[in-house]
Amino acid sequence: MIRDVAAVAGAYLLGSVPFGLLIARLRGGVDLRRVGSGNIGATNVLRVVGKGAAALTLVGDIGKGALAVAIGRTLGVSPFILAMTALAAVVGHLLPVFLGFRGGKGVATTLGAVLAAMPAVGVLLLLIWIAVAAIWRYSSLAALVAAACLPVLAWLLDGRPVMVILGGTLFFLVLLRHRDNISRLWRGTEGKIGQKVQTSSGHDVT
């Protein structure tokens, strides 16, 4: 019991680490919450600081999701608790205790958690994201399409009910956090990958 609680709590705290905010301060001397879209994810880092800092942020956000699940595996937790650690890491990114529960949109951390929990599913999600982003140049659209595929792929490639439920829950969270992006995509005003945004627009997806 204590092991399980520690795994889930640790995953949340790990997910709460704001890599984008820290890297932007170190590399660009800026507070991401006050520039660009105000989001702490890699997309805003790319727009405000540059590609190198954005890449580091992406690695950090993916890595914390993967590490949280890997720690759970090392501790030998049950599939249910493993799914809970994955979810806790994503919730930590969405609602980080270190930033007053105002975080990013969880796409990169979701990818990291899924890669560690269901490697084949994670790889396919990444390929789907890359394909959609390459064709349409909308990071938000790529995230939404990949997230929509998550529960289906979890069912087809993993099959464990708890992982299918995890996939559906993560899809719901991604969908919930992208309400504004969906509206802009519908209106044709969503910012494309690499597009510079200097005002608060909320276009980020990570």
pLDDT digits (tens, 9 = 90+) for 135-179: 999 989 999 999 999 999 999 999 999 999 999 999 999 999 999
What are the residues whose beta carbons fall under 8 Å from the beta carbon of 83, sequence distance 6 or more? 117, 162, 163, 165, 166
Task: Please state the rounded mean pLDDT for residues 61-77.
Answer: 97
State how far the Cα of 84 lies from the Cα of 68, in Å rounded to an integer.
10
More confident residue, 51 or 43: 51
User: Is residue 37 scored above 80 in pLDDT?
Assistant: no
Cβ-contact 40, 202 below 8 angstroms: no
Cβ-contact 205, 132 below 8 angstroms: no
Mean pLDDT for the chain? 92
Question: What integer pLDDT is reported at residue 44 of this predicted model?
Answer: 85
Question: What integer pLDDT is reported at residue 202 of this predicted model?
Answer: 44
State how far the Cα of 181 lies from the Cα of 49, in Å rounded to an integer.
22
Angle formed by the axes of helices 161-177 and 79-94, nearest 10°: 10
What are the residues whose beta carbons fall under 8 Å from the beta carbon of 64, sequence distance 6 or more? 14, 15, 17, 19, 89, 92, 93, 109, 112
